[in-house]
Structure 1
Amino acid sequence: MSDTSRATDARRAMPQSLIALRNICVFLARTPTSAFGLIVLGVLIFTAIFAPLIATHDPYVQDLQNTLAPPDAAHFFGTDELGRDIFSRLVHGSRITLTIISLVTVVVGPIGLFMGTVAGYFGGRVDTVLMRITDIFLSFPSLILSLAFVAALGPSLNNAIIAISLTAWPPIARLARAETMTFRKADYIAAARLQGASPARIIWKSIVPMCLPSVMIRLTLNMATVILTAAGLGFLGLGAQPPMPEWGAMIATGRRYMIDSWWLVTFPGLAILSVSLAFNLLGDGLRDALDPKQMMKR
C-alpha cells in the first residue's frame, strides 16, 4: 500500500471533529497574524506553567540596596522601587493574567450562551425580559460597571474576576440570540419538535452546537477587553492587591518613577499590549478559519 493510500485511510479513520480541529490549526498556523497570536498565547501558557523555573529571582523578595536598577545581566528588566526583579514579577504575573482569562471565559461563555439561546428560541415575553436585562448591562461601559461592582464587593483579585464576568456576558448573549433566531425555524428543528423533543433538548442538542463557533470567536476577541479591564482595575488599586505581581498594578506603582526609570512601566505595558494584540489576531484568524467559504475550500 502506498503512503498516499495510508494517509487517506488514516484521515478517514479520524473523527470529523478531529479533522476539523486539525484543519483549523493548519489554517491558523499558515496565516502570519494568527500564527503570531498562537505563539504569544503558547508563550503565555508555557510561562505560567513553568514560572518558578523561568523566573530568575523570587518576585516578592525585596532588595533595598538595589532599588530602581536598570536592566542588566543580573536583572533582565531591571528592578522596581523595592529592589524586586521586574522580569520575575512579569513571569509570575502571567499566572494571574491566565487565571483571569480562564475563569472569565468559564463563567461568561455558559451564561451568555444560555441567555441568548433561551431568549432566541422562545421569543415573546421570555425574549423581552432576558434582553431587557441584557440591555441594562450593555447601557453602561464595561469598565465603569466593573468599577461599580468592585467598589461594592471590595478590592481583590477574586472580586475583580466576578465584576469582569458580570459585565462581559451581554455581548455573548446578544450574539447567541441572533444566531438562535436564524436556526429556530429550520427544518431540522421542526423535525425534532415533531419527534417530541423537549425545548431543553432542542436547545442543547441542536442549537447550542450551531452557536458555538460564533461564541468561541467572540470570546477570543473579548479576551483583549478582559485583559485591559483587569489591568485597569489593578492600576486603580481595585484588582490584585500588593504585593501580587499583577501587570496593571505594576504599572500603577511604577508610574511615579517612570521619568527616570522607564523600565518600570515599559515592560508590563508591553506584556499587556502583546497578549491583548495576540487575542485580537487569534480571534480574527478563528473567524476566517470558521468561515463556511473557507471551510469549503479546505
Structure 2
Amino acid sequence: MSTDLSSAPRRGLSHWLSTDEITSGRQAAAQRAYWGFVGFMGNPLAVIGALIILLLIISAAFAPLVATHDPIAQNLRAALQPPSAANWFGTDELGRDIYSRIVYGARITLTIVVLVSVIVGPIGLFVGMLAGFVGGWTDRILMRITDIFLSFPSLVLALAFAAALGPGLENAVIAIALTAWPPIARLARAETLTIRSSDFIAAARLVGASRLRLLFRHVLPLCLPSVIVRLCLNMAGIILTAAGLGFLGLGAQPPSPEWGAMTSAGRRFMLDSWWVVTMPGSAILIVSLAFNLFGDGLRDLLDPRHSK
C-alpha cells in the first residue's frame, strides 16, 4: 500500500510515529535524565559546588535573618576588631560587621550573575545559531564581529566599557554583558554547524518544516545544554570581573557591600588587620570555585560526550 506523500508538508514528524514509539522515546529520555542525575550525585565535587551555590542563594534571599548586624551601620569605637563571638568575621575600618556585609553582598553578586546570564545567553545563542544555520555572508559578518570582541581580553574590555559608561551596578552589568556573549555565540555556532547536517534535519525539511521551525524547534533544544553549561562555567568569570570592577571603583558604589569594593577598601589594613581583606576575598574565591565545580558536574549531566 503506497503512502500519500503529498500531505507530508502538513504533518509533523510525530504523525509517522506510533504511540508505542513515542512512549518508548519518552521513557528513554526519562531514564537518561535519571542516570544523569545519579551520575551527578556521584560526583562529590559537583555536589559540594551545588551546596555552596544553594547556601549562597539562601543567604541572599534571607539576608535580614542570616545577618547579625546592619551591613551599613557604622561603629567607629569597634573599628578593625578581629573575629569574635560578637563579630564573626571581624569589623572593617568603619566598625561595620564584615560577616553581615558579605551576606548582603551575596545579593549584589547574584544580581550581577543573573542579569548578565539573562542578557548574554539569548544574545549569544541567537547570534551563533543564526550564523551557523544560515551560513554565507551572514555567518562571515556575525563571526567577524564576534572575533573583534574576542580579540580583547574580557576584563580589559569590561573596564573600558565601564569607564565609558560610568560607575554603578547597572553599568557594570552592561559592561560585563558586552564582553561575555562572544564565547556563547562561538559555541552555539559550532553546535549548529554539526546539527544542521544531521539526518533528522533533512527529514524535517522533507516534511515541509520552515527555516524558523527548524531553527527553534529542532536546533535550539540541542544547543541549549551546551550553552547552559557554558553559562554556568562563565559565572565564575562574571563574579571575578564584577569584583575587579568593584575593586577599581567602577562597580557598585559605597556603602553597598560589594565584595570587590570591600577588598579594595581593606587592602590598606591587610598587614595589621588581615580579616578585612581575607573574608571578602575568600567569599569571591569560594563562590567562583563552586560555580566551576557545579558547571563541570552539569556538563557531565547534560552532555553525554563529556561523561566519564
TM above 0.5, one fold? yes
| Aligned AA (1:164) | I
2:113 and 2:238 in contact (8 A); partners too: yes
Runs of at least 5 residues in structure 2 that lack an aligned partner in the other structure: 1-23
Alignment of 1:94-243 (within 5 A): 94-243=106-255
Deviations 1:258-293 (A, max 9, x none): 110000010101110101111111111122223426
Partner of 2:47: 35
Deviation at 1:199, TM superposition (A): 1.3
Partner of 1:89: 101
Deviation at 1:154, TM superposition (A): 0.7
2:82 and 2:273 in contact (8 A); partners too: yes
Distance change >3 Å, CA 275–CA 16, structure 1 → 2? farther
SS of the equivalent of 1:285 reads helix
Deviations 1:131-186 (A, max 9, x none): 00100100110011101111111100110011101100100100000000011111
Say whether residues 1:267 and 2:276 are aligned partners. Answer: no
Q: Between the two proteins, what is the percent identity of the paired residues? A: 64
SS of the equivalent of 1:271 reads helix
> How far apart, in 2, do the equivalents of 1:244 and 1:93 lie?
8
SS of the equivalent of 2:88 reads coil
Deviation at 1:194, TM superposition (A): 2.4
Runs of at least 5 residues in structure 1 that lack an aligned partner in the other structure: 1-11
Partner of 1:244: 256
Deviation at 1:187, TM superposition (A): 1.6
Partner of 2:91: 79
How high is the TM-score relative to the length of structure 1?
A: 0.91
> How far apart, in 2, do the equivalents of 1:266 and 1:234 lie?
16
Partner of 1:255: 267
**How well do the aligned residues superpose, as a CA RMSD in angstroms?**
1.8
> How far apart, in 2, do the equivalents of 1:16 and 1:156 lie?
49
Deviation at 1:21, TM superposition (A): 4.8
> How far apart, in 1, do the equivalents of 2:237 and 2:73 lie?
32
Partner of 2:71: 59
Say whether residues 1:44 and 2:40 are aligned partners. Answer: no
Distance change >3 Å, CA 253–CA 19, structure 1 → 2? farther
Say whether residues 1:283 and 2:295 are aligned partners. Answer: yes
2:126 and 2:185 in contact (8 A); partners too: yes
> How far apart, in 1, do the equivalents of 2:173 and 2:27 lie?
36
How high is the TM-score relative to the length of structure 2?
A: 0.88
> How far apart, in 2, do the equivalents of 1:88 and 1:17 lie?
44
Number of aligned positions between the proteins: 284
> How far apart, in 1, do the equivalents of 2:189 and 2:214 lie?
15
> How far apart, in 2, do the equivalents of 1:180 and 1:293 lie?
16
Asked which structure has the greater CA Rg, the reply is 2
Consecutive aligned runs of 4 or more in structure 1 exceeding 6 Å deviation: 14-18
Deviation at 1:102, TM superposition (A): 0.8
> How far apart, in 1, do the equivalents of 2:123 and 2:98 lie?
37
